[in-house]
């Protein structure tokens, strides 16, 4: 510590001691009540400091961000609070929320999303196989008549329906490869046609 820093610290300690001494002597009669009020204000202050520190996390949780679409064929997807990039794609007229997954080879729908786009997962032929983090699962190859993201429309797109338990549908590389450029800048996934 330099001499200036020691001087500043000494000044703050003396000033703090003077404030504490004044506070104790002026509130002798109702000291217990005053301490309670002081602690309440300290907790309120700490809460405000914590809220300020976590504001970005709080804001992204309360109002999850959505993908924005540019007129030049660019899609910007902010990272979600769970660390993944989520994008809603309209398939056969139904909005389906995907996790954008560069580790997935194909577009993979869970059974619930397959139902939402008009398929009956119980009647699909599950003769394909896929290796996942949870082991091998059976898949059924399907064709998606139309996939729409903003102004971008793709038709007759190959996909798979997962027979196992899959929480969210995955938007894999067979779709991402349709874009000229896929980049991540400042926690934003940018897809450019």
Instruction: Give pLDDT tens digits for 59-84.
Output: 555 545 566 666 677 888 888 888 89
Q: How confident is the model at residue 75, as a pLDDT?
A: 87
Write down the pTM of the prediction: 0.63
pLDDT at position 146 is 94
Residue 172 to residue 102: CA distance in whole angstroms: 6
How many CA atoms lie within 13 Å of 151's alpha carbon, on the beta-carbon side?
Answer: 10
| pLDDT of 23 over the 90 cut | no
């Amino acid at each position: 510590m330099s001499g200036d820093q020691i001087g500043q610290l000494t000044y703050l300690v003396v000033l703090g001691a003077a404030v504490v001494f004044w506070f104790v002597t002026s509130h002798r009669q109702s000291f217990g009540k005053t301490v309670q009020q002081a602690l309440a204000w300290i907790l309120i202050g700490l809460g405000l400091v914590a809220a300020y520190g976590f504001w970005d996390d709080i804001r992204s949780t309360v109002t999850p961000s959505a993908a924005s679409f540019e007129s030049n064929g660019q899609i910007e997807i902010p990272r979600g609070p769970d660390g993944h990039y989520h994008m809603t794609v309209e398939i056969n007229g139904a909005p389906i929320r995907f996790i954008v997954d560069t580790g997935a080879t194909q577009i993979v729908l869970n059974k619930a999303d397959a139902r939402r786009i008009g398929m009956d997962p119980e009647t699909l032929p599950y003769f394909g196989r896929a290796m996942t983090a949870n082991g091998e699962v059976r898949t059924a190859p399907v064709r998606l008549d139309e996939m729409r993201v903003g102004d971008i429309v793709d038709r007759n797109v190959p996909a798979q329906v997962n027979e196992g338990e899959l929480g969210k549908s995955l938007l894999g590389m067979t779709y991402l490869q349709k874009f000229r450029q896929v980049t991540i800048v400042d926690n934003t996934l940018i897809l450019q046609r």
